[in-house]
Amino acid sequence: MNPNPKPLVLVLCTGNSCRSHLAEGILRAAAGDAFEVASAGSKPAGHVHPLAIRVMHEIGIDISGHRSKHLSEFLSQPVHTVITVCGNADQACPIFPGQVNRHHWPFDDPAHATGTEEEQLAVFRRVRDEIARVFGAYAAGRRDR
Query: How confident is the model over 20-46, as pLDDT tens digits?
Result: 999 999 999 999 888 899 999 989 999
- Which residue among the candidates 8, 52, 93, 132 is catalytic per the annotation? 93
Where does the pLDDT of residue 83 fall: very low under 50, low under 70, confident under 90, or very high at 90 and above?
Answer: very high
Please say if the pLDDT value at position 129 is more than 70.
yes
For the chain, domain boundaries:
8-137
* Per-residue confidence band for 143, with pLDDT thresholds at 50, 70 and 90: low
Give the class (CATH, top level) of 8-137: alpha beta
Q: Which residue type occupies 52?
A: A
Cα–Cα distance, 89 to 104 (Å, whole number) = 9
Q: What is the pLDDT of residue 141?
A: 85
Per the annotation, the verdict on 13 as an active-site residue is yes
Alpha helices in 9-116 (DSSP H): 19-31, 50-58, 87-92
Is 93 annotated as catalytic? Answer: yes
Q: How many CB atoms lie within 10 A of CB 138?
A: 20
What is the model's pLDDT at position 59?
A: 98
| Catalytic residue selected from 13, 40, 52, 85 | 13
In this structure, the number of other CB atoms found within 10 A of the CB of residue 53 comes to: 20
- H or E segment and range at residue 120: helix 117-143
pTM recorded for the entire structure: 0.90
Pick the closest to residue 46 from 17, 19, 75, 25 (CA basis): 17
| Active-site choice (9, 37, 85, 86) | 86
